Amino acid sequence: METIAVYWEPQIKTYGIQVRTRLRLISLHLQTGAIPGHQLDFPAEAVRKDHRLMLVTGHIQADGCFHISMLFTGAGAAPVKDLLIPCQLEPANFNITAPVELIFFQGPHYADRYGIADAALYALESKQIDLLAAACSGSAIYLVLPEGKAQHARSALNDIFVVPLK
Amino acid sequence: MTDKQLILVVDDDPDLVESISMKLESQNYRVDKAYDGVEAFAHIQNEKPDLVILDVMMPRKNGYQLCDELKKSGNYSDIVIVLLTAVADAVASTNYTHLDGKSTLADDYIPKPIDLDNLMQIVHDHLE
Amino acid sequence: MKLPIDGLKIYNSLALIFLRNDLCAHIREAFHRLARQRINVNMLTLTATGGRWVGAGCISLCDLDRARAVLPESVRQSDIIYPVGMLTVFPHKSRTRLFFQLISAFYERRLALYATASATSTLSFIMDGHRLEQAAQLVQTIAELPSHHTPFTSRLHVRQL
């Protein structure tokens, strides 16, 4: 891989910080040996109408299960069963938290630069804001927060990152 | 066919391409996307855009090369080109300097990190 | 019918560190130490439950020895796997179908999937490094790439001081 620039900035710049509220966080615990792909797709109509996928993140766990967190819009929209019945999941294998909030941002070359996740987590910790889930991937950072915390988190991130003025 | 103006967004960062594209679409522009200079040129040959938002540092063919090629061509020299680059005060060393950027025939030149609202204003001003 | 995508990238030579049910404060400290060592976390997924975090973080393989020295004691040898690679498709356009079709295809072909995360456009998967090419071929049976798509491996790198 060709290195084409060496980056330095005293304060990490962003393209802007965005907030979404009234979201639904669905956690799935799947046996990795038998993931029935055709059963796992949520109903297209429900997704189109009310439930836009904002984030998906997941990892394999020590017990061999794959844990997936999916964040959707429409916390107050269609009943949860409309989303999950087609998946044929046992109740023990999923969990829903709603409403939750999301704060996300991106910046130049984040994927190649150290310290960005650390700075984001530090910002939240400094204001004692709990985190429900997080994903740092590509040039974006997504932080899922309990209800009512996103604006507080925005203020904390504004102290650490450079955000373009509106 | 549509009356909407076509803007080609070219950057090797798919997340930035998506953010810019969503913003442009919300402003009623049509958007085409490419992720390096070679792919961008193929898209331009397929359908000539009104404006190209062009990153500088890209694999295969960089933004300066594509800009030069377009502006010196007979068919594409009238396409408005807005160059984007991370070559700002944040970069300690690079193969792509500000001077290189300013010496291109691009119609505008914006250092990253871009402000999307500012970029929209620049696009609007050029296409008005 | 294949789902349209614009591109696919594969990156190799990564190591994946699993974070198993550790105190948030310990993991925060670990990230801080990695940052002080100038070690980039290329991809991170975290879930919090009751003051503890589980998840996984990816670093460059060349940084692994330095990372080991600063990771919390709770991270055991078996919690680090390498070499792994990252396969990224874009744009995901919020398509749950794309995500589920890909992960089910990986499992049907026994391509181990260790972690996944989406971003604004990209959907990334951490897998065994030596099977990335196979995974890329598999993606093309599900997703349609444009004829002039950017190559899977070409990438420029920016280094942070």
Which ipTM value was assigned to this complex? 0.93
A145/chain B closest Cα distance in angstroms: 22
- Is the minimum CB–CB distance between C154 and chain B shorter than 8 Å? yes
Q: Residue B39: pLDDT band by 50, 70, 90 thresholds?
A: very high
C:1-60 residues touching chain B, CB 8 A cutoff = 6-7
C57 to chain A: which residues are within 8 Å by CB? Answer: 117
Q: Does A71 have pLDDT greater than 90?
A: yes
Contact C17, C56 (CB under 8 A): yes
Tell me whether strands A140-146 and A94-106 are parallel, antiparallel or unpaired: antiparallel
SS3 A145: strand
Structural domain boundaries of chain A?
Answer: 22-99, 101-160
Q: Which pLDDT belongs to residue A38?
A: 45
Length of chain C: 161
Topology given in CATH for the domain delimited by A101-160:
VC0802-like (3.30.2130)
| pLDDT per position as a tens digit, B53-94 | 999 988 889 999 999 999 999 899 999 999 987 655 555 555
The answer to whether A82 and A46 are in contact (CB under 8 A) is yes
What mean pLDDT value characterizes chain B?
Answer: 88
Tokens 């066919």 belong to residue: B1
User: Is the alpha carbon torsion for A34, A39, A44, A48 positive or negative?
Assistant: negative
B30-34 and C3-4 beta bridge pairing:
unpaired
Categorize the per-residue pLDDT at A65 as very low, low, confident or very high, splitting at 50, 70 and 90.
Answer: confident
Of C42, C124, C161, the CB nearest to A8: C161
**pLDDT over 70 (residue A90):** no
Q: Do C47 and A67 make contact, defined as CB atoms within 8 angstroms?
A: yes
Could you give the residue ranges of the DSSP H alpha helices within chain A? 37-40, 44-49, 80-84, 116-126, 150-160
Range with the poorest average pLDDT among A79-93, A124-138, B114-128, C98-112: A79-93
- Mean pLDDT, range C146-156, rounded to an integer: 87
Going by C-alpha positions, the residue among B45, B50, B42 that lies closest to residue B7 is: B50
The confidence score (pLDDT) of residue B43 equals 97
Model confidence at A81: pLDDT above 80: no
Q: Please compute the mean of the pLDDT values over residues B32-37 and round it to a whole number.
A: 96
In chain B, what residues touch C120 (CB-CB under 8 Å)?
Answer: 14-16, 18-19
Q: Which of B33, B57, B65, B85 best tests the C interface by mutation, with the highest count of C CBs <10 A? A: B33
DSSP character for A127?
Answer: T
Partner residue opposite A6 with nearest CB, options B57, B93, B112: B93
Distance from CA of B74 to the nearest CA of A (A): 31
Select A22-99's CATH number: 2.40.30.10, 3.30.950.10, 1.20.140.10, 3.30.70.260: 3.30.70.260
DSSP 8-state assignment for residue A9 = -
Question: Which structural domains are found in chain B, ordered by start?
Answer: 6-127 (3.40.50.2300)
Q: Higher confidence at residue A97 or residue C21?
A: A97
Q: Which two tokens stand for residue C155?
A: 């990438």
- For residue A2, is pLDDT > 70? no
Q: Is the Cβ pair C157, A4 closer than 8 Å?
A: yes
Cα separation, C60 vs C88, whole angstroms = 16
CB B88 within 8 A of CB B112: yes
Alpha carbon of residue C150 to chain centroid: 20
Testing the interface with C: which of A9, A57, A109, A128 to mutate, by most C Cβ within 10 A? Answer: A57
Contact flag B35-C121 (C-beta cutoff 8 Å): no
> What span, in angstroms and rounded, lies between the C-alpha atoms of B11 and A108?
11
Size of interface A-C (CB pairs under 8 A): 184
For residues A47-62, average pLDDT = 81
What percent of chain C clears pLDDT 90, i.e. is strictly above it? 65
C121: distance to nearest CA of chain B, Å? 5
Question: Tokens at residue B21, please?
Answer: 């594209």
A90 half-sphere exposure, CB direction, 13 A CA radius: 5
Query: Can you list the domains of chain C with their CATH numbers?
Result: 3-13+82-144 (3.30.70.260), 16-80 (3.30.2130.10)
Structure tokens of B27?
């402003």
Side-chain half-sphere exposure of A130, counting CA atoms within 13 A: 13
Higher pLDDT, A140 or C23: A140
Residues within 8 A of A (CB atoms), B 94-113 only:
94-96, 112-113
Q: What is the pLDDT of residue B2?
A: 67
Residue with tokens 């904390």, as numbered in its chain: A156
A32 contacts C44? CB cut-off 8 A: no
Partners of residue A118 in chain C, C-beta under 8 Å: 31-32, 34-35, 41
Q: Locate the chain B residue with the closest alpha carbon to A111.
A: B13
